Amino acid sequence: MRIIIKFIFKIFAIIIYRPKIVGKENLPKEGGALLCPNHVSNLDAAVIVAMFQRKVNVLAKEELFKNKFLCWIADLFGIYPVKRGAADMQAIKISLKILKHDGLLLIFPEGTRNGMAKGVKPKNGAVLIAGTAQKPIIPIGIQGSFKPFTRVIVNIGKPIDYTNLKEEIKDKEQATKLTAELMKTIVDLRDEDTRKKKKLKKVNK
């Protein structure tokens, strides 16, 4: 059932959003890793789950689980609730378990849609989980409005190694610094296509 629904949504995503996936070679074919994109729309996680070949588990806000249909979809695809604005120990335990069993886990460091634009301080959770689990983070930049029939670009960056940072992440200041560096990488990936187009425009003048 999961494969059928994933296939149907993949076709839907291709027709409606025309996703362009850049940097596929940076996705590990095996082993656990955290996928950390910027958060543009309620649909960005769904597009990533549909377009990526490997199964992607997702942490999503618990409010979504009030809908019975979404609960069913969540259970089918490995989507787990997380309490925003608090240290959700259950979500952390689930995250570490997924990574321990070499799964892929998607977390939005912004914590909310367009968090950076709203001035919301990114959460340290992704860095803390990666460092504790000794797994890499795959930064992802998503560009697009998710309006029907407009292109969405998913730019996958090179893995960031957190295997030697288990002690550093215990320090809040260091964890915040690492999160800021991660967010800068994500923003650079998000804006890469725009920079290329501007550069090309200058060359053609």
List pLDDT tens digits, range 10-19.
999 999 999 9
Model's pTM, two decimal places? 0.88
User: Across the chain, what does the average pLDDT equal?
Assistant: 88
Using alpha carbons only, how large is the chain's radius of gyration in Å?
17
Structural domain total, the chain = 1
Taking residues 101-111, report their average pLDDT: 92
Residue 86, pLDDT score:
59
Taking residues 49-76, report their average pLDDT: 82
pLDDT band at 201 (very low <50, low <70, confident <90, very high): confident
> In the predicted model, is pLDDT for residue 156 greater than 90?
yes
> In the predicted model, is pLDDT for residue 105 greater than 90?
yes
CATH number of the domain that 142 lies in?
Answer: 3.40.1130.10
Tell me which residue range forms the domain holding 101: 2-203
20-24, 36-40, 153-157, 198-202 — which is least confidently predicted?
198-202
Taking residues 41-53, report their average pLDDT: 90
Taking only the tens place, the pLDDT of each residue in 171-197 is 999 999 999 999 999 999 999 988 888
